[in-house]
Amino acid sequence: MESKVTRYTIERVYKSKEYLQIFKDVIEDIIMNSVHFSKDERQYDRKEFMRVTSDFDLGYNQKDRYQHDIHTIGLLFVQMVEDGKIYYNNKKENVRK
């Protein structure tokens, strides 16, 4: 039987609550947003797009940044499930068509 000390230690060391919250937020984003993208809309290097667009100071606060990162992770999952791969812009062309 697991003791309270063991559960506390596991939570403190592995931060499982934080991971679970991020997973929940990613699943919610996939259901509400990412899964509805057409093939053309999802076939781009999301990480490169975020790198390029985050170079501009758009006044995002920490919550906005978190939501954008969650959406990026969700889109990467959808790319893997729907297309069997994550898109990387190896040609240094326009990131988004």
- How do residues 44-89 score in pLDDT, each as one tens digit? 888 888 877 775 666 667 778 899 899 999 999 999 999 999 998 8
**What integer pLDDT is reported at residue 35 of this predicted model?**
82
Tell whether the model's pLDDT for residue 96 goes beyond 60: no
What is the rounded CA–CA span in Å between residue 20 and residue 11?
11
**What integer pLDDT is reported at residue 56 of this predicted model?**
65
- 3-state SS of 14-78 is HCHHHHHHHHHHHHHHHHHCHHHCCHHHHCCCHHHHHHHHCCCCCCCCHHHHHHHHHHHHHHHHH
The model's pTM is 0.74
**What integer pLDDT is reported at residue 92 of this predicted model?**
58
Average pLDDT over residues 7-14: 81
